[in-house]
Amino acid sequence: MRVITGSARGMRLETLEGEDVRPTTDRIKEAVFSIIQFDIQGRKFLDLFAGSGQMGIEALSRGAETAYFVDASKKSLDTVKRNLIKTRFEQSAKTIGADYQSFLAMCSEKFDIAFLDPPYKTGILQNALASVISVMKETGVIIAENPLNEEISSNYGDFILDRQYRYGKIKISIFRHKDFAK
C-alpha cells in the first residue's frame, strides 16, 4: 500500500494484518481520487472508518487542508498515527478513537468530503450514511465503498446518489446534496 500522488507520492504505508482488515486497493483508491480530484484542494476530509488511514493520507498528500481519522480500534489508530508521522502529515490530521455513531453525535465540524468503508455486510454502511449527513457541508461529497451485492439507498436526507462505479466486486457510490448533484 502506497501514497499514489501528491507531496507524499510513493511512500509506503503500514497496513493492519488479519482477516477483519480489508484495505482499499490502490486501483479503487486511484479511481476515487480521480472522481474527486477537483474537490480536494484546501478541503476538510473525513476518513470515518480509518483503518490504516490511507484514504485520508492520500487526501492530505493531494492538498486537503485537514483530515480527521476516526476508528474504534486502538490498533487501527496506532497504525494511522505511525503513517501520519512517516508522511509528515500529523500537523494536518486529527485522530479520534471512537465508533462512528459516537463521533458523529458529538462532532461540531463540517466536512467537505467523507469517505466511508465500514466492515462489509454488517448493515453499518446504511446507518453511517444516514448519520454522516449531519456533519457535511451542503457542497460536500460523500463516498461509500461497499460490495456489489450490498444494497444502499439512493438518498440520505438531502444527499442523493450522484454516481456509482463498479470495480470488480466493489461498488463506489458518490452522494452529493440534491442542489449540487450533476
Q: Which three cell numbers stand for residue 86?
A: 512517516
At 85 the pLDDT is 96
Q: Name the CATH topology of 26-177.
A: Rossmann fold (3.40.50)
Name beta bridge partners: 114: 46, 142
pTM, rounded to two decimals? 0.92
Q: What is the DSSP string of 56-117?
A: HHHHHHTT-SEEEEEES-HHHHHHHHHHHHHHT-GGGEEEEES-HHHHHHH----EEEEEE-
Name, in order, each residue with C-beta under 8 angstroms of 125's C-beta and a sequence gap of 6 or more.
116, 118, 144, 146, 150, 152
CA 11 to centroid of chain Cα atoms: 19
Domain segments of the chain: what residues? 26-177
At 154 the pLDDT is 92
DSSP state of 23: P
CA distances from 45 to 3, 37, 89 (A): 16, 13, 13
Compute mean pLDDT per 10 residues along the chain, 182 residues long, and list them. 84 76 76 88 95 94 96 94 95 96 95 92 89 95 92 92 91 91 74
Counting runs of H as helices and runs of E as strands, what totals does the chain give?
Answer: 5, 8
At 64 the pLDDT is 96
